[in-house]
Amino acid sequence: MKKQRLGGALLLLSVMIGVAVICWPTLYPSQPVPTPANFNRLYIGIQQSDVAAILGPQMHREMTYNDGVVLSDTWESDGCKILIQYGGPLDVSGSHTAINGELTTDDGRTLKLQPRAPGILETVRGWLGF
């Protein structure tokens, strides 16, 4: 009888540890960081506030007025540097939209910010001619 209780307790403890390991990132999310994977989540037209939510607070901000660029934000981390330029009018939340961006890695690769890929709803609407 004692062996069954001990086995049951060990099984319960194992399940609790497994659930804790799986749920830990959800309960205590890490801080957003500038990475190539997070840069790939960005697109031309994304709001400034959404960029900050994905990459974290900017490390450097520069105000310019050339070619409609209102400001640019820069992030740096181990292995990459991200520059996002914003322009256009402020939206209702007081945020600009991204008009240009670039990721540069330490090994010299460069990625440019791309327009947002159409979602499934936009694709189906295009097929149907709506």
Would you list the DSSP string of the chain?
-HHHHHHHHHHHHHHHHHHHHHHHHHHSPPPP---HHHHTT--BT-BHHHHHHHH-S-SEEEE--GGGEEEEEEEEETTEEEEEEEES---TTS--EEEEEEEEETTS-EEE--BPPP-HHHHHHHHHT-
CA angle 64/117/32 to nearest 5° reads: 60
Instruction: Let me know if domain 36-128 sits in CATH 3.30.1450.
Output: yes
Strand order across the 110-112 sheet: 60-63, 69-77, 80-87, 97-105, 110-112
Q: Give pLDDT tens digits along the chain (130 positions).
A: 677 777 777 888 888 887 777 776 665 556 778 889 999 999 999 998 899 999 988 888 887 666 555 788 999 988 899 999 988 766 666 678 899 999 999 898 999 999 988 888 888 888 888 7
| CA gap 64, 53 in Å, rounded | 23
Given CA atoms 58, 95, 51, 109 in this order, what sign does their dihedral have?
negative
